[in-house]
Every structure is written in structure tokens, then in C-alpha cells.
Chains A and B, each alone.
Chain A
Amino acid sequence: MGGEQNLSLVSFVRVKNPDNRTLKEAIKESLDKIEFDFDRKVGKLVIKPNMCYYYHPSTGDVTDPLFVSALIDVLRENFPGNHEILIAEADASAMKCRYSFGILGYDKIADEKGIKLVNLSEEKSRTVEVKINGLDFQFHIPEIFSDSNFVVNVPKIKYMSGSRISCALKNMFGCNAHARKSVYHVALHEAIVVMNKLVRTDLVVVDGLFVVGRSTKQLNLVMASKDPVAVDVAASKMLGINPQRVQQIVSASKEGIGKMDFRPVGDFDYFRKAFPKRTFKDNARAKAASIYLRVLKGE
């Protein structure tokens, strides 16, 4: 039991009939379960959702603005003092924040809650040069991620070609101000770990309302932890993937970003069973398609 004390806590809470009230209750419960202490000095609260593309939240691909709205309420009600809250996302190769903020409904939330939407690609950033596998890469880290600010990572749970899974670690990859993120795809796992070293996550609250497995499913899950590696380990187990075979998880753990051993608090087994996992046949088909696309691109 003494060993368990050192494990990272990951909470699992089911939301019934998600709306602002039930989501707030579930998020608060998930934070209580991981013994999250709000009584601390922080600067701005920076929320980083996953807005990978112009998909509706019901596809499970992007963080639901309703979830973020409830999270804002919880943070406001529990952190002492008045904190400025920001929702931050960077442009991607195919997605532009100036459109996605509006299309996905984040601008409405910003108006309602009186918070600021930040396009990280348009923010001041510092450049960090990192050599990966003999190749030089530049990472552009927005100044908003200074040590004094509190970063809340709000990822989704999904399969992803390249990184195998997308959850807490992959979501922070999106903090890079550089829009053409496809340049990092040759060393994606390593780039994910670098970004997680450069931008530390203070709290992960996973929007598991809709998840992307073999198909999209409304799982109505809220998952929370202070450890992004532990969250990804739990997510990969739900996806039916051995976390030891997810390169960014293993490397991030070695780099001290988090622990691979975690203690689930809540009904982890229910969510693990309920998650729509891919079958062996699905994986083989996805792999064949991925190889074909790589051949097409001449990689």
C-alpha cells in the first residue's frame, strides 16, 4: 500500500445527461478524487483544448466548448482570488484559429464568460532549437506559458496515426506557435515529448464526453490528473494499446514528465470495457492505409 501512495492519481467520473450543471459537478468530483488543491498562488489560468479541425464536438475529435465552459466555472469558483482565464490554441497545418474559434462556438463562450481567446500562433514566442535524431528542429513557445501561469490541458481521447494515441501529451504538441506542424511528423514522438518538457501541464481534465475509437461513442467520461503521462497510460489502456508500445509515453516518463504507474480513482474498468476499441482487423486496415498514404507522399 505504501508503494501506491507514490502513484499518480487519475480519476474517472461518469456524467449523467451532460449540461452545465452536471458537467460542473462531474469536473469538481474528478478534481476532488485526485485531491487537487486549489489553494495555491497562480498567475493566469491557461486552458488548452484540442481544436484540431473544424469538426463538431459530437464527432469526438475536438474539445466540446460546453465542457470548457463548465470547467471555467469550476476553476473560477474554486481558485481563490480573481484570475484571468484564457483559452489558447495554435494554428495547425490545416486549421486556422480565427475560423475555428467561431465555428466551434468558443467565441460565444468567451463572450458569455468574459474570457479571452488566444491564437498562440499570433502571440509572442521564444524559439528553442532542439536536435532530434540528427535533425535540427525549432520549437516556438508562446510566452503565455511562463512558469507563473497555470496550464490546464483539456484533451480528447482518440486513435491517431503517427502517435498511435492522442490524449494529454499530444494535445500539448499543439501549443507550438508554428502552424505547419507537419514538419515535425518525421520525429513526432520526440517532438511531442520536447513540447511537454517546454510547456508543463499543471492539470489535465479530459473531455471524454465523445471519444473516437473504432467509431465515435458518447462515453460521458470526465478524467482528471496532475500527471499527463499517467493520463495517457490510462487512455492507451482504454484504447486497447499497450502503453509500453507508445513511444511518447515511455520517453515522457523517462524524461520525468510523469509516471507510467497510476492509481485509478473511480470506475476505470467500466470505461475501459465501454471504450469502442479497434479490432485486430481494423488495425491491420488502418496500418495498410497509412503505409499507402506514406508511399503516396513519397516518404
Chain B
Amino acid sequence: MLKTLNLGVIGLGQQGKTHLRNCLHLRRGRLWSVADVSKRNVNLAKRMGVKNVYTNYEDLLKDARLDAVIVTLPNYLHHEAAIKAAEAGKDIFLEKPLARNVEEGEEIVASVRKNGVKLMLGYDMRFNPVLRRIQEEIHCGFFGKVQIVDTTNVGSGPFMSRSESGGPTPVPSWWFDKELVGGGALLDLGSHLINLLSWYFGKVIDVKSYLGYIYNMELEDTAICILHFKDGPLATVKVGWFSKHNTQSIHICGTAENLLVRLSPSSTTATIWKDLKRKAGMFQQDPFYLELEYFVECLQKDEPPNPSGEEGLNDLRIISLAYKNMQKLAL
């Protein structure tokens, strides 16, 4: 019988709390410990039944009974936390992006290899059942030869409304600092689409991009990227942090078939329904749950999980090229 794995969650921000809740329902792994600098968050985890809680993640890593960690820290801490986890011999599930830049990403991947641990990137779109089906259909030839793909992920990005039991909470300050976040909408939202498209179509050979700044920030809030794939189509990646409402879609145009999938906007009713389903424990279709279940399964079977660190690094290289080849939009 396969061993039940002990998981630790490092960082209990918005995303960390999602993983925390999902960990409580995993079939193959159990939530063993959490670490967060905020005592309030740590107490929340305690109330949810987590016995081992820390305000310093290095203490969490010292626990020999811990098998793997789920790292959901701000971008500027990915490098340090992932390397320390690798050195502590823990397998790692790291929220995207891999790091703030290619250099940091390379060091993470090198450390993971050196220490013989596994690394998986948290790209939830890869576990969306509809998008997985599209991947199968592309490879089965359903679309014929795909010539053009158009992807969109526009919303409020870090400015999405955040709330806790005490009411609305502010956007964490690191999101406003280019140095700490590493990039704007392209890194934040574009990385999802770039990863998805690379999974669908393979190697990118050329990148062009246009970045816009409707808000007075150093970080781009608008980006359009055109990716040229070696064996496939031209694809656009359109992302933005400027809208109150979310729009996520993918439009695939092939010689044999076209398909437009709108992943959002979701109506209030749909959101409430989704929330009710989550509350009722119906996690089976939730990509955030599915990716964790898959990660644990890979560890149990001693198989390398995907999206891997190398894929995350490839995404960073494409984004880096997009920043290098960019033209500023006068918005």
C-alpha cells in the first residue's frame, strides 16, 4: 500500500488558503504542517485542525516527517524558499511563476536537480478538464493543422477584491514593487497562457510583444504577445490587470475545426454555485484540487510531475524575451 504523504503549506495568503482547504480533502496526502509569518493566518490553520504550525518556514523544513511542501509565497521569496526546501530534501509544489527572472529560475532548477527532489509548478489551467481535453484533441488531429490560436486572460489581477472574515483586506504591498514582483500582467497572467500554449504546441521560436500602462505603475497592466511556435501556429497571448471583470478564453483555429472556449466571465450565480459545490466537498472538478492530487500521486509513484521546473523556466525565458522585444503602447 502506498504511503500517505505529509504535506506542508508555506505561505497562507489568498492562494495559500485555497491550497490549505484543498489539502484537507486530499485522498492520498495529508496536511501535516503550515508556516506563515502572520499569526492570524497560523491561528486560522490551527482552527482548521492543523497541528504543526510555524511562523518561520525554515522551522517547518526541519521536520523529518514532512515529505513535501506547497510554496505559495510572494514571487520574491520563491527563489529562497524553493532552494531551502530542496536542500532540506523536500519535494516541492511551487506556485507559478517559477521565479522573478530566468537567473533565479535556473538556480532553483539546478538546486532541485542537485538535491534529487521533485518540483512541480502550480499552473491550475493545466488541470482544467476542458483545457486538458483540448490538448488531447490537438494531438489527435481534431483541429487538423492549427494555424492561429488566440488566448485572453484579463481581469483585475492583484487588484481583485480580497476579503477575510473581518471584511475587505488590502492588496499586499509587494504587488506594487517591480523589484519584488518581477513583472506585471505578462508574468502574472501571461505565464499561465504561455505555459498552456507551450504544452499544446511545443517550442517557441520567436516572440513579439506590446506592453501598456493604463495605470501609473512601473509594471505593465496590459500586454499582447505573439508567439511563433516551431511546429505549430502563431498564437496571441492577451492579458491585463485593468478590468473589473474577468475574461478568460481560448480560440483555436485549425484547418479542420475551430473552437472557442470561454472560461469566464462567470455570473454571480455561477460563482455562488461553484462556492456551494466547494463547500459541499465536491472538489473533483476543481483544478486547484486536481493539481495537488496529481502532485501527491506522482510523489507516491516516484514519477516526475508536470508542469515541471524546466517548463516553468522555459516560460520565464519566453517572458524575458517578450520584455526584451517589447514595444510600449501609448495608452
Contact = CB atoms under 8 A, between A and B. Distances in A.
A285 interface: yes
B266 to A, nearest CB: 13
Contacts of B242: 56
Interface stretch (A5-13, A102-110, A127-135, A190-198): A102-110
A289 B268 CA distance: 7
A265 to B, nearest CB: 33
A185 interface: yes
B167 A180 contact: yes
A22 interface: no
B171 interface: yes
Interface residues on B, range: 20 to 34
A59 interface: yes
B193 to A, nearest CB: 23
Interface in B213-234: 214-217
B165 A93 contact: no
B170 interface: yes
A120 to B, nearest CB: 16
A162 B268 CA distance: 18
A102 B216 contact: yes
B24 interface: no
Nearest to B215: A103
A13 to B, nearest CB: 28
B178 interface: no
A92 B269 CA distance: 28
Contacts of A289: 268, 272
Contacts of B166: 180, 182
B216 A93 contact: no
Contacts of A217: none
Nearest to A185: B167
B162 interface: yes
B282 to A, nearest CB: 17
Interface centre among A61, A182, A183 (most CB of B within 10 A): A182
Contact of B217 (A55, A95, A102, A298): A102
Given A54-B159, A289-B268, A182 B168 contact: yes
Given A55-B244, A297-B165, A298-B165, A105 B216 contact: yes
B294 interface: no
B161 A94 contact: yes
A93 B167 contact: yes
Contact of B159 (A53, A102, A297): A53
Contacts of A61: 244
B168 A94 contact: yes
A287 B269 CA distance: 12
Nearest to A212: B244
A59 B216 contact: no
A56 B222 CA distance: 13
A270 interface: no
B215 A94 contact: no
B162 A94 contact: yes
Interface string A97-137: 00100111101100000000000000000000000000000
Contacts of B163: 94
A92 B216 CA distance: 20
Nearest to A54: B159
Contacts of A96: 170-171, 173
Nearest to B268: A289
A36 interface: no
Contacts of A38: none
28 contacts: A54-B159, A56-B214, A59-B244, A61-B244, A92-B168, A93-B167, A93-B168, A93-B170, A94-B163, A94-B169, A94-B171, A95-B170, A96-B171, A96-B173, A99-B173, A99-B176, A102-B217, A105-B216, A108-B216, A180-B166, A180-B167, A182-B167, A183-B167, A285-B269, A289-B268, A289-B272, A296-B275, A298-B165
Interface of B: 156, 159, 161-163, 165-171, 173, 176, 214-217, 242, 244, 268-269, 272, 275
Given A94-B168, A183-B167, 17 more contacts: A53-B159, A53-B161, A54-B171, A55-B159, A55-B244, A56-B214, A56-B215, A92-B168, A102-B216, A104-B215, A107-B216, A180-B166, A180-B167, A285-B269, A289-B268, A297-B165, A298-B165
Interface of A: 53-56, 59, 61, 92-96, 99, 102-105, 107-108, 180, 182-183, 185, 285, 289, 292, 296-298
